[in-house]
Every structure is written in C-alpha cells, then in structure tokens.
C-alpha cells in the first residue's frame, strides 16, 4: 500500500523543500517616459523558485522604484522575511502562508505577489490544473492587449505602432504629462489620423498638478479616448473627483489604489469609473480578486494593469483577468513581447492578433528558461 501511495507522484500535501531568490537585470529596447518616472537601460526584477520533491515553480517581483518599491527591497523581503514561512510547508497551505506573510511584513507587495504566484504555480502543477482553473475557471479565453506609447522618440513609437497594428493590435495607451501638453496633443492627433481603426487610452501616471489637470485633461477628452488614467498624484482624491465630473471619458484610478481598503474608499467616494488592477501593487492574485469584487459591487470596471514584467508575472495577471468578469477593459501585458530584449519564458508569451491566449496547461502555463535566468542573474540567495 505504501508503495502504491508513493506512485501518486505529486499532491497538494507535498512539502516545499527549497527556495531560490534570483535578481535579474533585463535589457530593454528603449527608454520610456511615464509621468513621474522614466525607465530605460535595463530593469531589475526578482525571481522566486520553489521546489518540492519533483516539482519546480516560479514567481516574479517586478518593482518600479517610482511606484511600488525596489528590487533590492523585494529580494531582501523574500530572502530574509518570507523564506522562513515557506521551507518545510505543504503547498496546500498557500492561503495561510499569505496571511502570515502579511502578518510578519508590512508592504512589499511585489515580494508577496512573487511568492503567491510561485505557490499557485506549484498547486496548479500538483493538481494538474491551470491557475485560472484553480481560481474557478475562465470567463474569457482571450484578453485584448494594450501597448503603451511612451518613447520620448515618437518616430520610434510610430514604427512600433505600425508593427503592432500589422500584428492585429487595436488598443494603445499614450503615456502623457511628461514632455508637455503640446507633445501629448500632437501624438494623440497623429495616432488617430494614421490608425483610425485603433482605440487610444491616456495615462498620465500622476504627471499633472490638479490645476494643470483642470486645464489639460478636458482638451484630451475632446479626442474621445477610451479612458484617461491617473492624471494627478495618488493622494489627490478631490482632484480625481473634480476631473471625473469635468470630462466625458471614463476616469481610471491606478496609483491611488493599492489595497482592497483603498478600493473600498475609492468606490464610496466615487473617484473613478474604473480601477487599474495590478498584482504587483496589491500583493498578489487574491488581493486583486478582492479589489475586483469591491469594484464589481460598486459597478466599477477593471483594467488589467502591470509593471515592467517578464512573461512570468504577465501570466499571473492573465489568469486573474481571465477569471474576473468585471476586469473588462483589456490588459497591458505587453512588455514580454514588445519591450524586453529577451523574455525569460521557454516559449513565447502567447500574443497573436492583438490578443493574449490564456494558457490551459498546469500552473501558470509556461515555464521559465533557466539558462536565460542564469544569463541575466546579478544576485542570488539560496
Ligand atoms: Mg497607470
């Protein structure tokens, strides 16, 4: 009998035996200007590898210092503070482990997102279910993909847009509020004229003061963008309400909402028509589900937001968006395909015809290429 039981190769009771934390430096194809901060050269993300006797799973923290935190802090949080919660635990204890993670460590949402993502990958592989199946099943099998226009060299962005429209992409988000209102209007007008078939959204990444916003955002609104995201600083909730009342386009809150408690208050105060929901700022899929549920109850839509992620973190977002009915405005998991010099997945992140196909294989659905991790690694803790 014992022998027969051992033939059940992997199960939810399996013990996590090892955890490896690796920081990678990933070259990117261009500089990107985003409201309050720019990104270029390379991005530093932190990978978590969990191992049982026979299974390997991965998670990723993708911090942005101007928005959520730093790679150094994420690596330290995982290695020093979260590691003791993991090694020796059963993978079926995932929810309890994440409760403990919140108890021992305030903040650090990217580190917690990475850990939870790896645990879900592990449960999925043990149970032979994709993460979206673990979450209760998909309400959509394909996600419309939005790509951001954020290059200070607009001619380079026009070439990128041409390529994406040829690939079937129809959603674009212009990052505004960095190089002046005239530049923003010029890009909006040029893109609308050159690609009449696309929907354009706007994201200020907190780039305007409330006074500037009352002057500039109504101009942008005349172009009928799909939505306008976070024109003012995260804490300027009164200004968000005033802008929302002054424009026709839906107003999206991103940096204003990190936690479910933020979402509840934002829904009560009516600061936005939609929330950008991101695993990295909220600390994982479970927290994002709570935010999506609060939004749904308030009649607020969701948008699948992300940070400067590889395909790995994108996959966690994909499974979340695939299972949340009101995250209905598409997603922006484009960096693996259109921004990184090299992604880390074994097979390409599944984008075609402007849409992401949700993987149905167990766990997150696509494994990491460990040779690429070794190639780009700059630091590692075992
Ligand atoms: Mg945003």
Q: What are phi and psi of 344, to 5 degrees?
A: -105, 0
| Average pLDDT value for the chain | 95
How far is ligand 1, taken at its centre, from the CA of residue 193, in Å?
24
How far is ligand 1, taken at its centre, from the CA of residue 307, in Å?
9
How far is ligand 1, taken at its centre, from the CA of residue 18, in Å?
35
Whole-structure pTM over 0.75, yes or no? yes
Alpha-carbon distance values, 350 to 225, 281, 335, 356, 360 (Å): 27, 24, 12, 6, 11
What is the structure's pLDDT at 194?
Answer: 97
Q: Identify whether the C-beta of residue 322 lies closer than 8 Å to the C-beta of residue 358.
A: yes
What is the structure's pLDDT at 9?
Answer: 61
> How many C-beta neighbours within 10 Å does residue 341 have?
10
Domains and CATH numbers, the chain: 2-128+369-381 (3.30.390.10), 133-357 (3.20.20.120)
How far is ligand 1, taken at its centre, from the CA of residue 173, in Å?
9
Q: Report the alpha-carbon distance of residue 146 to residue 170 in Å, rounded.
A: 7
Q: Report the alpha-carbon distance of residue 255 to residue 301 in Å, rounded.
A: 16
pLDDT band at 1 (very low <50, low <70, confident <90, very high): very low
Condensed to tens digits (0 to 9), the pLDDT of residues 109-165 reads: 999 999 999 999 999 999 999 999 999 999 999 999 999 999 999 999 999 999 999
How far is ligand 1, taken at its centre, from the CA of residue 186, in Å?
21
Condensed to tens digits (0 to 9), the pLDDT of residues 18-46 reads: 999 999 999 999 888 887 778 878 999 99
> How many C-beta neighbours within 10 Å does residue 179 have?
14
pLDDT at 88 over 50: yes
How far is ligand 1, taken at its centre, from the CA of residue 203, in Å?
6
Condensed to tens digits (0 to 9), the pLDDT of residues 311-324 reads: 999 999 999 999 99
pLDDT at 49 over 80: yes
How far is ligand 1, taken at its centre, from the CA of residue 229, in Å?
6
Q: Report the alpha-carbon distance of residue 51 to residue 62 in Å, rounded.
A: 21
How far is ligand 1, taken at its centre, from the CA of residue 185, in Å?
19
What is the structure's pLDDT at 34?
Answer: 82
Q: Report the alpha-carbon distance of residue 92 to residue 28 in Å, rounded.
A: 37
How far is ligand 1, taken at its centre, from the CA of residue 5, in Å?
50
Q: Which residues contact 12 (CB under 8 A, 6 or more apart)?
A: 90, 91, 92, 123, 126, 127
Q: How distant is the alpha carbon of residue 10 from its chain centre?
A: 30
How far is ligand 1, taken at its centre, from the CA of residue 298, in Å?
21
Percent of the chain with pLDDT over 70: 98
How far is ligand 1, taken at its centre, from the CA of residue 372, in Å?
29
pLDDT band at 6 (very low <50, low <70, confident <90, very high): very low
Condensed to tens digits (0 to 9), the pLDDT of residues 270-313 reads: 999 999 999 999 999 999 999 999 999 999 999 999 999 999 99
How far is ligand 1, taken at its centre, from the CA of residue 254, in Å?
5
pLDDT at 173 over 90: yes
pLDDT at 3 over 60: no
């Amino acid at each position: 009998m014992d022998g027969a039981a051992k033939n059940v190769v992997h199960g939810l009771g399996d013990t996590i035996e090892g955890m490896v934390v690796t920081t990678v430096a990933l070259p990117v194809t261009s500089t990107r200007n985003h409201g309050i901060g720019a990104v270029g050269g390379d991005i530093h993300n932190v990978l978590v590898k969990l191992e049982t006797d026979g299974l390997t799973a991965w998670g990723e923290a993708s911090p942005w210092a101007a928005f959520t935190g730093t790679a150094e802090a994420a690596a330290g949080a995982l290695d020093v503070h979260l590691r003791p919660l993991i090694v020796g635990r059963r993978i079926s204890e995932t929810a309890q482990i994440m409760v403990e993670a919140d108890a021992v460590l305030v903040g650090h949402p990217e580190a917690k997102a990475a850990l939870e993502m790896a645990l879900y990958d592990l449960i999925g592989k043990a149970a032979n279910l994709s993460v979206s199946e673990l979450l209760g099943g998909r309400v959509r099998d394909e996600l419309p993909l939005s790509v951001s226009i954020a290059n200070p060299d607009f001619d380079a962005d026009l070439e990128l847009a041409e390529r994406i429209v040829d690939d079937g992409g129809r959603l674009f988000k212009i990052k505004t509020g960095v190089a002046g209102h005239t530049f923003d209007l010029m890009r909006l007008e040029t893109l609308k004229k050159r690609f009449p078939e696309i929907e354009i959204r706007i994201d200020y990444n907190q780039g305007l003061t409330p006074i500037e916003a009352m002057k500039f955002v109504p101009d942008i609104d005349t172009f009928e963008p799909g939505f306008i995201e976070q024109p003012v600083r995260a804490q300027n909730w009164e200004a968000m309400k005033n802008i929302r009342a002054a424009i026709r386009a839906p107003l999206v809150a991103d940096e204003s909402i990190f936690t479910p408690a933020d979402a509840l208050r934002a829904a009560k105060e009516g600061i936005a028509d939609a929330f950008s929901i991101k695993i990295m700022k909220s600390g994982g899929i479970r927290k994002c589900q709570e935010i999506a549920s609060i939004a749904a109850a308030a009649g607020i839509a969701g948008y699948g937001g992300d940070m400067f992620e590889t395909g790995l973190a994108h996959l966690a977002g994909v499974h979340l968006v695939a299972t949340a009915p009101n995250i209905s405005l598409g997603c922006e998991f484009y960096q693996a395909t259109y921004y990184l010099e090299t992604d880390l997945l074994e097979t390409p992140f599944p984008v075609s015809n402007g849409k992401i196909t949700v993987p149905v294989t167990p766990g997150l659905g696509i494994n990491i290429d460990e040779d690429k991790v070794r190639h780009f690694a700059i630091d590692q803790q075992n």
